[in-house]
Structure 1
Amino acid sequence: MASEAPKRSRLKRTLITLFKVGLYGSILGLIALVVAVAVAMSQLPSYSELVRRDNLGQMIRVRAADGSTLVSLGPSFGRWLSSDQIPEIMKKAMVAVEDRRFYYHPGVDPVGIIRGIGVSFSRDDKVRGVSTISQQLARNIFLTSDRSYGRKVREGILALALERRFSKEQILELYLNRVYFGGGAYGIDAASRRFFGHSADSLTLSEAAIIAGLVKAPSNYSPTADAEAARGRAEVVIDLMRRNGDITSSEAFAAEPADVRIVPTPKQNSVRYFTDWVLPQLDTLIEESVEPIEVWTTLDPNMQKLADQVINSATPQGAQGALVALDRDGSVRAMVGGRDYVQSIYNRATQATRQPGSSFKLFVYLAALEFGYTPESAVEDKPITINGWSPRNSNRNFAGAVTLRQAFAQSINTVSAQLAQEVGFRTVADMAQRFGITSKVSTHPSIALGSSEVRLIDMTRAYASVAARGTAVVPYGIRRVTTAEGELLYQHDPGEARVLVAPHVAAQMTDLLQAAVMTGTGRAAQIGRPVAGKTGTTSSNKDGWFLGFSSGLTTGIWMGRDDNKAIPGLQGGRAPAQAFHDFMSRAVASRPIEQFQTQVAPPEWATEPDQEAWFDAPPNSAAQVDADGNPIGTPAEPGGASPPVEDLRPQPDESLEDLVERATNPDRQERVPTPRRSDERAIPPREPRSGADAVERRPVAPQP
């Protein structure tokens, strides 16, 4: 018995010690908590600073050419509703589902914390349990969503500080105006406008229940993503409100979330190809990255809808299609980068590089026309081999003598190869780059048939520049950018026109393009008004192209498979040309009919060269000249005197024939160009080339 007394005594002392340690520890912990809350209170922003929501990201609203909204990106904010403007039914719904003891706890709900800790130990290492409204507000404003005990402690301290600093009504007002409800909407007013089409100051019970139910999982219960799930969640909220006494049983019974009309989300399928292309350009156009902005674009909603329909209906099964339509100033009126943006965000109009086939002959013929050919120039369709490469025509035949117009309209490969060899493959590549081809262009002879990969938007740009009579057309999609209040941040400036080729060269090219549609491979693209364009088909029918213009609108269409496999029957003159017809016939229906200007007189210097163009330069460039620049002699031969040089300047009253006679005197050292026959085409005389790309241009000699 005596031994039991000391044991009880030791146990008692241990318990007392543990009690004292616990008491002192609690006191110290309470002091530390009070100090932490006090420090947190001193560091809290003012209420007016917390009202600002610009730290949630930039809201961007993209508008079409007619002012309609194409897409809204980033956070969406409605009006800030003060506590007395927020419907009581909205407050009750939010408190019932998120924190039914909101008006009674000091910012932290001990019951909820204990329940969360118990669940975390029994299931996994993640902290669980429902945070109070004050805790959620603290997390949304100051913390991250990381689930850890440390974050939970900081969240509790901040919640206590918020409760000490602000009233319950202020905290609820902050919460309802800042919490995220899905769909990019922050605050109940943005959510109400997003899902119901009206402000939150007139919410019904069912609408308030739907919004309150979104906080738990905005993505899962979003009305625009799953309307039935949102309505089902609203039923749970209404039942909680009934059990808490916020509404009567008859009010709960009368509420019908299923009858709430959800505003449909604007279709953002093919439009997103366009917005994905233009929005990254904002980084170089404006510096504003915080305030909400309005981006006013060039996209025509009707043309875009039509383009989407045409690509989906005309593109062969298993293939992809893309379309770009440019107005005469370069504004993008429609852009489709694929058949379905949801399935594939890859923009085949601006990102994909594919072989253009015969549509690339545009640059071969532009170089030839600039070189001196005309649409009536005679060329011969015959076999040709260039460095071991022997191109073939699609029909395996040779037509013999044809005009340049016929060769282009029928897309004769051997003629294109001959022209490219004559003007120089480097010249063709330079012409393509001059007209806006940004991808790498090869100088291999096969460039004449379109072997270098290009982008659809670049090819469309090139054809648009021909339509613009040889001046550069630069695609753009943003007309202006403003703040939400209308302050102008950026305005598109077209800049000065840049001439790519002479107007008569562009006019002759238009002649050839029109012939290709009227009598050649592009006949399926006819729309009952003047049209100019060109087909393109690659080997094994892997790609089909059609590019053309009419009435100021230029449209490029590509079709093919992403894996570059062959598509039986795919040719530029079939599905792509038919798609061009279906799109353009309606896209330009309201525009006036415009005749092409295919007859433009060349400049005077091309038809009336001065007399100095008759002769080559003196054989010795070191000839001495007088004060007026006239030759007075040539350097002496070694050991000899300087020979006299005949003055070949035109003499008074001397006829052109006499001048030629003097110039062709056998004693003269300089060579005189041989006059052309009357049936020869007017092209500049050429020196022999040392290589396929070496081309030396000289003045055009007048006919004697």
Structure 2
Amino acid sequence: MAKKHSGPSKPLVADRRGPPPARKQKQEQTPQKPPAKGGFGRLRALLWRAFLLPFRMLWALIWRLGLVVCLLLGLGVAYFASTLPEAGEMIDGRAAGSVTLMDRKGAVFAWRGDQFGGMITAQTISPFLKAAVVATEDRRFYRHFGISPRGMASAIRINLSEGRGPLSGHGGSTITQQTAKLLCLGVAFDTDEWPSEREYERQCRRTTLWRKIKEASFSLAMELRYSKDEILTIYLNRVSLGAGARGFEAAAQRYFGKSANQVNAAEAAMLAGLLKAPSRLAPTHNLKGAQARAEVVLGLMRRENYLSSAEASFAIANPATLSPAATARAGGYFADWIMTTGPRYFTRNTTEDVLIQTTLDQTIQTATEQAVRRVFDDKISKSSKAEVAVVVMNKEGAVRAMIGGRDTRTTGAFNRATQARRQTGSAFKPFVYAAALELGHTPFDRIRDEPITLNIPGSGAWSPSNYSKTFAGEVSYTQALAQSLNIPAVKISEHIGRDIVQKIAWDFGLQDALADGPALALGTSESTLIEMTGAYAGILNGGISVQPYGITSLRLLGESEPLAGRTGGIGERVIRTQTAQELTFMMHEVIQSGTGQRAQIDGIEIAGKTGTTQAARDAWFIGFTSDFVIGVWMGYDDNRPLKGVTGGSIPADIWRETMLAITDQSKPGPLPMLRDRIPPEAGRSPIDSSPEKPETKSLTQLLFGLFSRQN
């Protein structure tokens, strides 16, 4: 039975489905800092913002500036890459050419100008040289993209630590950047814009921020346009390596006499070491410094594993030395003379590479230098500043040796043999006697050596005296010349006419202004040593003038036909052959019994003349054998008097030492001179025999007589 409900029943309702309604949670509030007491917090916030503001501004400036630099860099790279020529066109960038000087046998002895030895490549040079350059200048060359931020940062740090500006001193440049500088960032040399190539190169080496940006652009463009080896090839051919050598081929030839593809490790290290300071470390000037720098380079090559320890040690123990030609550096003054007397457009201003064959004999040059050094070491005080000049030439005027000063290893210095114009003293007297002999006087004519006084218009009375301050009485012309007596020379010159003496001296090559007064006979006129030596060669040559010369041929590199030939030699007849032979006899007596006796050499006939100017400011000795003429001058550059030196002392000693070395090679023959010492008219006195001055021949009469005898 069903249970009965007692009340109303609850309605049936289905269960609510789905998630239960969310409970209202009590909202959590973020705790806040209690307000700061007063305004200190706000002040601190303002100060913090003020502190950060410069950094924010700097950062904004930096990234904007960086953006501009990158934009400029990109534009520059695109521009330069589009304008760069083929790599082969950039190998030889010289604006001027070079001159290679060869001696009479064809051996090279000197270089002038920027020498370019010919193109080499990174593939053809010696592996040692390639390794030395990379290890020394840019060891990451084959791994970077043209610039090295690490290297630049390091360079800036070093510069700042050494107290310099960030861009002054160390540059941190890669080989690519250095090549860009060598190319002057693509700007070619223009004579209208730069006064000289040196000024152009100085401008190219300037370091500013703008140029650094351009340099980076140019370097990146080169990396895009050329291969690494092409860039290295340009660098190897254009870099300066001292002594006028442009490129490693020229330097290898200059210093070692071999090609750059033949150098060994020690030689390669020396060449690469020159990149640091080519002028200061050039081995022709500073061999010890070059060898020390080469040792550093060898260490770098070893560190980069280009050399084994054994190879590096061997190269250090056997450092590079110069070739014989570079060691000798013969004929520095001679080479300078060639460059100043040769054709301008093929010497001083050449844009071509020129080869000049000269008359220099390196054996004689070396012997002359040794003779000078030996005499000065033995007979001159170490503190003396006296200078010397020597010229050696053959009878036709070909200069075989030249010294222009005591420092024989210099170049570009004042050449006392060719540039110093000095009074000639008694060395001029042979031209006085040449004039007298040409007019019919003889070596045996007599004249009185006695006090005389001449009235010189505008100057008053003049009383010449002899060096000895004594008088010899009656003497022959030969004795007067041998003893270098002054009074007879003045008397003869005044008797025959100064104009005739001047004409003969001029025709023999003394073509400076000659003195007008009676002191002309005593050598108050000025001349150079090479002119005087050439004039004496004319006497040896039988009375025919001689023009000294040093060039025998000149041609362009790579050409076989010469552009020019000999620049001097035999000239015109000045005096008769008989006159020259009589004068040679008289000058032979100067050596045999006169003031030049210290120049005697056993078994060899020598003729010459000493010369000492007033107060012994100049001392000369010029003499000759049948083959060679040697002139020697000695004095001070400031014209101070010499102490205890005359033409017959130290200059004669130098002459003898030099001639001894020459005659060791070839003994000369007899002199072309008068052999009859007792002529029929011996003893006559054509000047002093009459109290009245005899009639003298005019210059016109002399020339007419010469013309008649020669025809």
TM-score by length of 1: 0.77
- In 2, the alpha carbon distance for the partners of 1:18 and 1:545 equals 79
Query: Aligned runs of 1:88-127 on 2, under 5 Å?
Result: 88=127, 90-120=129-159, 123-125=163-165, 126-127=167-168
- How does 1:514-553 map onto structure 2 within 5 Å? 514-527=588-601, 528-553=603-628
Alignment check: 8 A CA contact 1:207 1:257 kept: no
Change (3 A) 1:162 1:560: same
For structure 2, the residue ranges without an aligned partner over 5 or more in a row are: 1-34, 36-40, 186-203, 456-460, 677-682, 706-711
Q: Does 1:555 align with 2:614?
A: no
2:525 to 427, 449, 452: 452
CA displacement 1:287-336 (0-9 Å, x = unmatched): 88233222211112222222222223335413332221221211112222
Q: Deviation per CA, 1:583-606: give whole Å up to 9, x if none.
A: 334424515513424389xxxxxx
Match of residue 32 from structure 2:
none
Q: How far apart, in 2, do the equivalents of 1:469 and 1:228 lie?
A: 52
Q: Is structure 2 residue 155 aligned with structure 1 residue 135?
A: no
What is the one-letter code of the residue matched to 1:380?
Answer: R
Question: SS at 2:261's partner residue?
Answer: helix
The residue aligned with 2:317 is 258
Q: Indicate conservation of the 8 Å contact 1:426/1:693, yes or no.
A: no
Against the structure 1 CA distance between its residues 385 and 60, is the aligned structure 2 distance closer, same or farther, given a 3 Å change threshold? same
Please tell me whether residue 594 in structure 1 is matched to residue 667 in structure 2.
no
Partner amino acid, structure 1, of 2:403: V
SS at match of 2:524: coil
Are residues 28 and 261 of structure 1, via their aligned partners in 2, closer, same or farther at CA, if it must alter by over 3 Å? closer
Q: 2:298–2:316: 8 Å Cα contact kept in structure 1?
A: no
What is the CA distance between 1:17 and its match in structure 2? 9.0
Change in 2 beyond 3 A, CA 1:154/1:420:
same
Deviation at 1:211, TM superposition (A): 3.6
- Higher mean C-alpha deviation, range 534-543 or range 182-191: 182-191
Query: Any idea what the Cα deviations from partners look like across 1:75-107, whole Å, max 9, x if unmatched?
Result: 344453334334555444433332233233321
Offset of 1:474 from its aligned partner?
0.3
Answer yes or no: is 1:322 the counterpart of 2:389.
yes
2 CA distance for matches of 1:567 and 1:512?
A: 28
How big is the shift at 1:20? Answer: 7.3
What one-letter code is carried by the residue in structure 2 that aligns with 1:279? M
1:510 aligns with 2:584: yes
Identity %: 35
- Map of 1:41 onto structure 2: 81
Counterpart of 1:423 in structure 2 is: 496
Give, as a single letter, the amino acid of the residue that structure 2 aligns with 1:44. L
1:391 paired to 2:464: yes
8 Å Cα contact 2:543-2:573 kept in structure 1: yes
- Pair 1:337 & 2:412 matched: no
**TM-fit CA distance, 1:478:** 1.0
Q: Cα deviations across residues 155-177 of structure 1 (Å, max 9, x unaligned)? A: 11110110111122221232233
Residue 305 (structure 1) aligns with? 366
Give 1:395 deviation, angstroms: 4.4
- TM superposition shift of 1:134: 0.7
Q: Deviations over 1:16-75 (max 9, x none)?
A: 998777666544443332222111122212222013x15164232211112222222333
Residues 269 and 340 in structure 1, CA contact (< 8 A), matched pair in contact too = no
Q: Is the 8 A contact 2:609 2:623 kept in 1?
A: yes
In structure 2, distance between residues paired with 1:530 and 1:255 = 56
Q: State how many pairs are aligned.
A: 619
Calculate the aligned-residue CA RMSD, in Å. 3.9
Deviation at 1:392, TM superposition (A): 2.2
Which of 486, 490, 510 in structure 2 is aligned with 1:413? 486
Question: Does the 8 Å contact 1:689/1:695 carry over to 2?
Answer: no
Aligned AA for 2:533?
Answer: T
User: CA deviation digits over 1:558-600, x for unaligned, max 9?
Assistant: 2233343333432323333333333334424515513424389
SS in 1 for 2:573: coil
Letter in 1 for 2:507: R
Where do 5+ consecutive residues of structure 1 fail to align?
601-677
Map of 1:176 onto structure 2: 236
What CA distance in whole angstroms lies between the structure 1 residues aligned with 2:528 and 2:660?
24
Whether the 8 Å CA contact 1:270–1:337 is kept in 2: the answer is no
Partner Cα separation in structure 1 for residue 266 and residue 629 of structure 2: 51
Name the residue aligned to 1:606.
none
Aligned position for 2:354:
293
Which letter maps to 2:674? T
- Counterparts in 2 of 1:546-625, with a 5 A limit? 546-588=621-663, 590-598=666-674
Please give the alpha-carbon distance, in whole angstroms, between the structure 1 residues aligned to 2:636 and 2:642: 8
Distance of 1:26 and 1:536 partners within structure 2: 78
Within 1, Cα distance between the matches of 2:276 and 2:499? Answer: 64
- Cα distance, 1:491 vs structure 2: 0.9
Letter in 2 for 1:409: A
1:154 maps to 2:214: yes
Measure, in 1, the Cα distance between the counterparts of 2:454 and 2:43: 115
Amino acid in the other structure paired with 2:176: S
Match in the other structure for 1:480: 553
Aligned to 1:278, the other structure's residue is in SS state: helix
Shift of 1:376: 3.0
For 2:197, the equivalent position in structure 1 comes to none
Does the Cα contact within 8 Å between 2:388 and 2:416 map onto a contact in 1?
yes
The residue number in structure 2 matching 1:350 is: 418
Moved more, 133-142 or 202-211: 202-211
- Is 1:231–1:258's contact at 8 Å kept on the other side of the alignment? no
Is 1:377 aligned to residue 445 of structure 2? yes
Corresponding position: 1:216 with 2:276: yes
Question: Do 2:122 and 2:233's aligned partners in 1 also have CA atoms closer than 8 Å?
Answer: yes
Query: In terms of mean alpha carbon deviation, does 465-474 or 5-14 score higher?
Result: 5-14
Aligned to 2:572: 498
Kept in 1, the 8 Å contact 2:391–2:403? The answer is: yes
> Paired residue for 2:30?
none
Give how far 1:182 is off. 3.4
1: CA distance between counterparts of 2:446 and 2:116? 68
Given that 1:270 and 1:338 are in contact with CA atoms closer than 8 Å, whether structure 2 keeps it comes out as no
1:499–1:173 distance in 2 versus 1, CA, 3 Å: same
Partner residue of 1:361 out of 416, 425, 429: 429
- How far does residue 286 in structure 1 lie from its aligned partner after superposition? 3.5
Instruction: Report the secondary structure of 1:321's partner residue.
Output: strand
User: Cα–Cα, structure 1 residues 529 and 131, in superposed 2: closer, same or farther, change >3 Å?
Assistant: same
Residue type at the aligned position of 2:341? Q
The aligned residue for residue 280 of structure 1 is 340
Moved more, 298-307 or 426-435: 426-435
Contact 1:543-1:560 within 8 A present in 2 as well: yes
Question: Which letter maps to 1:30?
Answer: C
- Aligned amino acid, residue 186 of structure 1: R
Separation in structure 2 between the aligned mates of residue 124 and residue 42 of structure 1, nearest angstrom: 37
Cα offsets for 1:337-364 (capped at 9, x unmatched): 2222358933222222223222211122
